[in-house]
Amino acid sequence: MYKELLQNNIDKKEYDSLIKIALEYYHAGYELYLVGGALRDLILGKEVKDLDIATNAPLEVTKRLFKKIVATGEDHGTLTILEGGFDFEVTRYRKDVATDGRNATIAFAETIEEDLDRRDFTINGMALNLINGKFIDLFGGLKDLRDKKLNFIGNAKDRILEDHLRSIRLLRFMIRYDFTTEQSSINHVIELTNMDKISPERIVQEFKKIFSYRKGIPNDLILDTIINIGLFEKYDLKVIDRQNLIKCFEINDLLPLVEQKYIASKKNMSEVHKSMKIDKERYTNFMNLIDTFNKYKNSKYLYHELMVKHRVKNDLKLIFEYCNHKFDESHYESMFELPLNVKDLNIDGNDLIQMDIIPKDRGVLLNKLLRCVWENPTFNKKDKLVGLIDEIQNGNKPSLSGNSLKLSL
């Protein structure tokens, strides 16, 4: 049943290549299973992206069976097989020997059951034999998928202490699939999660995945849990402003918490970005755009001023959402018909040199001309711009025929 489902839901050439690999293992006396997120999403009817594949074959056997191999994670038992134009990551069955709260010391296992037993949630603990179609579900993952429940495999307390990242993954899967979980699991998450075990980079990575789902604001249980486990304490945000957290989910970005950190710490923005492990340039630009928005929000030249600095539509939409302002997409598109930068003017620095304009005045003058052209685009002609320069240098406010006669510079 599920093997046929897989065949109907991935590229035919990819499926044929996968089965070819499975047959090579089978004829050599080994097995190959589809496991983890790929099988979970297949059953849920969602797009299957990365195929998680597990085998009982030693690495030496895999290297012998296949000509094109990439050692992508050999220490962890993973090799990538290149077949039919596709990359297939195949991992030998594993079991945990010891854990430190984040990383595990592993040993290779002999059975698929041992491999499944080390996984986090029941919905990730299923396996599909790629030869005979045998479906293995030791922990009730299929029922939990149908019931929209997220349960740890085995004892929730043990699973969290083995790897504290599982607490964030629990919340992420609840958001992604709109699943519920037992209150006891939430209690264990709040009681046991040690955020010092999780790197700032991984926290940011998990939230990028959450925001990519674009699910909107989570329920109160999830919001309260994020706050109660001190998810951002290592960023000196011991108390997260709930409205800022909600804002993060509204705009699908951590920017509101960056701003909270910035205001609370009174440090410069570069220090904030360094501590929060978030791209410095992007967030600095964002904050500059916020300042521009606030300065010109009541001006008819708001879009002009923003687009002088940045023209990427999705980023500007984020600015408007952040500032609780409606983004006018048609108005945005119309801006590209206008000069938006001094480089778009039909006059440049060389012309100003020939007019004996001193260096310190050239940039200021070009920006004034740009704003005159915003007022009346027909003035973007060299002779008219030269005339405007004469008026400006004489201390006059340029008279612009058209929609408006006077422009305050």
pLDDT digits (tens, 9 = 90+) for 279-322: 667 777 777 888 899 999 998 889 988 988 888 787 788 888 88
Phi, psi of 37 (to 5 degrees): -65, -30
What is the rounded average pLDDT for all residues in the chain? 88
Please compute the mean of the pLDDT values over residues 217-246 and round it to a whole number. 86
Please compute the mean of the pLDDT values over residues 53-76 and round it to a whole number. 95
pLDDT at position 139 over 70: yes
Q: What gap in Å lies between CA 297 and CA 295, rounded to an integer?
A: 6
pLDDT digits (tens, 9 = 90+) for 7-36: 999 999 999 999 999 999 999 999 999 999
Secondary structure element (H or E) that encloses residue 99, with its range: strand 94-99
What are the structural domain ranges in the chain? Answer: 1-147, 148-252, 338-409
pTM of the model: 0.74
pLDDT at position 400 over 70: no
pLDDT digits (tens, 9 = 90+) for 66-92: 999 999 989 899 999 999 999 999 999
pLDDT at position 409 over 50: no
In the CATH scheme, what architecture does the domain 148-252 have?
A: Orthogonal Bundle (1.10)
Q: CB count, 10 Å around CB of 385?
A: 20
CATH superfamily of 1-147: Beta Polymerase, domain 2 (3.30.460.10)
